Amino acid sequence: MDPTAEAAPAAVDFIREIVADDQRTGRHGGRVHTRFPPEPNGYLHIGHAKSICLNFGVAAEYSGLCNLRYDDTNPTKEDVEYVESIEEDVRWLGFDWGDRTFYASDYFEALSQYAEQLIRDGKAYIDSLTADEIRDYRGTLTEPGRNSPCRDRAAEESLDLFQRMRRGEFPDGAHVLRAKIDMASPNINMRDPTLYRIRHASHHRTGDAWRIYPTYDYAHPISDAIEGITHSLCTLEFEDHRPLYDWVIEHTRPPFRPRQIEFARLNLNYTVMSKRKLLALVEQKRVAGWDDPRMPTIAGLRRRGYTPEAIRDFCARIGVAKKENVVDVALLEHTVREDLNRRARRALAVLRPLKIVIENYPEGREERVEAVNNPEDPAAGTRQLPFSRELFIERDDFMEQPPKKFFRLSPGVEVRLRYAYIVTCDRVVKDESGAVTELRCSYDPESLSGASASRRVKGTIHWVSAPHALEAEVRLYDRLFVSPDPGQDGRDPLTDLNPGSLERLTGARIEPSLAGAEAGTTVQFERLGYFCLDPDSRPEAPVFNRTVTLKDTWARIAGRG
């Protein structure tokens, strides 16, 4: 037996199993071709990323191709703004579709030809019932529907009506083209579904050329066939539509027969994923826009500081199956931390500054201490940090009456200033209200980092030199919703919004080496988390978004007590 065949097989999902099997048996001559088919009616989100990674991933792994195809069959909901954002996002995620950018609207002419053929074949007819009447005739989940009085209209008459619909002779809703299937089918999608409707609306690509537009159920299978899509991957809610997908292919007889396979869409706890709900957040100004860093959109994640690598890794880890699922956002956060830990340079920054004065450090003196840029990557080198008599430390790093296990600064306790000296707090200065305004400290001149006599202390805290530090705005993000399942039980998800999802800190101080960094730059502020320079930054007024905190064992311990 071939020893390589005995090696533990990499776990592949059921879709890759099907694709591999088709390829092995020579189906379609071994050719694999997928497509990512967004409707340009909103921004892409992390759920789309799952589909993108699946479709492009399968194509790449089986030496195939993946098309980008806009499912733009409904002019009233779509817009060019969205097609531009979609291309940017897919590309940013790291995928390339060459020159294979397609639109369902590219096929409008072919689609209407196939429709006329269907009419001539007696497989479709023009129905002149109103939308309400059609609904009425459709029956219910438990009762069969009834045939429309128009169902037996002569093919010539339907054809004539269809052509006049196309010419714009009728108002919206006057007629529709319906497939003639079975009004008694237990599958409601087969009860003479609508294939074409009249829409006197201008389309973002075809302008006013068309007054009739095909429905998804009709356009999608034929678009797949035209492009030679071998595996048409979509989400579970289309499972019921597969018989219709197959019916369209069978009766319209395009030169190729694609196969639809359904998988479960991604759900994430503490967030919403439907474009409708995301649109509501944007339109009601509950967030700053589609790219608000709290949004689960690709644009939002990008601005937040997520990397394509992290998102792709996330998509690989969640897997693909048919079971409804709710993935823990902690996994997403884990994948960015892992990626950024490897790549982000470190910096010292103080979010909520507390001034300390080192009384035994000579006034006016300053020196440079050496700091490591990335302990995970020696090649990143080192930098010099200015040190002086007056510093800022994090307010959270000082407690006048510390609980046990608080390994930070408190009166009489020694801590190390990262990369610099060991200091102790001698005196606490307060204002009239009793709030701590300043600490008077002393340092051990023999304790400089790297020096041979390296005494050990329990805690190390970060700092910046007061006269050298730059001021910055820092935006701290928390989950957008307080509920793990926003809007469950039919509530308005907006009632579950987290009022504390954004905290802006305006007086943060960052080490001077960060001056002039470009928007999009990611750094780790040591002991705090990963931060990304926001496009709102100006050279003299940098703005940092917190991508994600570091894992914080102390917060967990403190939270328990």
Partner RNA sequence: UGGGAGGUCGUUCAACGGUAGGACACGUGGCUCUGGACCACGUUAUCGGGGUUCGAAUCCCUGCCUCCCAGCCA
Pair type for strands 345-347 and 522-525 = parallel
Choice among 16, 39, 178, 509 that is catalytic: 39
405 near RNA (CB under 7 A): yes
Residues 118-137 that bind RNA (CB under 7 A): 129-131, 134-135
Choosing from 304, 418, 509, 546, the residue that interacts with RNA (CB under 7 A) is 418
Is 275 known to be catalytic?
yes
Rounded to whole angstroms, how far apart are CA atoms 183 and 190?
A: 7
Other beta carbons within 10 angstroms of residue 345's beta carbon come to 18
367 near RNA (CB under 7 A): no
What does the per-residue mask of binding to RNA show for 134-173, with x meaning CB under 7 A? xx--xxxxx-----------------------------xx
183 near RNA (CB under 7 A): no
Rounded to whole angstroms, how far apart are CA atoms 170 and 167?
A: 8
245 near RNA (CB under 7 A): no
Choosing from 236, 429, 515, 519, the residue that interacts with RNA (CB under 7 A) is 236
Question: DSSP string spanning 266-321?
Answer: P-BTTS---HHHHHHHHHTTSSSSTT-TTSSBHHHHHHHT--HHHHHHHHHHH---
Residues 1-20 that bind RNA (CB under 7 A): 11, 13-14, 17
Q: For RNA, which is the closer residue by CB, 197 or 312?
A: 197
Q: What's phi and psi for 289, nearest 5 deg?
A: 155, 180
Q: Which amino acid is at 59?
A: A
Q: Is 4 exposed, middle or buried (0-12, 13-18, 19+ CB in 10 A)?
A: exposed
Other beta carbons within 10 angstroms of residue 10's beta carbon come to 6
Answer for the pair 68, 97: CB distance below 8 angstroms, yes or no.
yes
- Name the minimum Å distance from CB 497 to RNA: 22
Query: SS3 for 99?
Result: coil
Choice among 27, 146, 153, 265 that is catalytic: 265
Is 551 known to be catalytic?
no
Q: For RNA, which is the closer residue by CB, 94 or 487?
A: 487
Quick one: which segment of 148-156, 161-169, 224-232, 522-530 binds RNA (CB under 7 A)?
Answer: 522-530
CA 549 to chain centre: 18
94 near RNA (CB under 7 A): no
Residues 247-286 that bind RNA (CB under 7 A): 264
288 near RNA (CB under 7 A): no
Residues 466-485 that bind RNA (CB under 7 A): none
328 near RNA (CB under 7 A): yes
Q: How many residues bind RNA (CB under 7 A)?
A: 93
Q: For RNA, which is the closer residue by CB, 90 or 292?
A: 90
557 near RNA (CB under 7 A): yes
Q: Is 63 exposed, middle or buried (0-12, 13-18, 19+ CB in 10 A)?
A: exposed
Q: For RNA, which is the closer residue by CB, 186 or 381?
A: 186
- Name the minimum Å distance from CB 226 to RNA: 16
CA neighbor of 236 nearest in space, from 214, 259, 261:
261
Rounded to whole angstroms, how far apart are CA atoms 248 and 238?
A: 14
Is 324 known to be catalytic?
no
Choosing from 39, 106, 292, 414, the residue that interacts with RNA (CB under 7 A) is 39
Give the residue numbers annotated as catalytic, written as ranges: 39, 265, 275
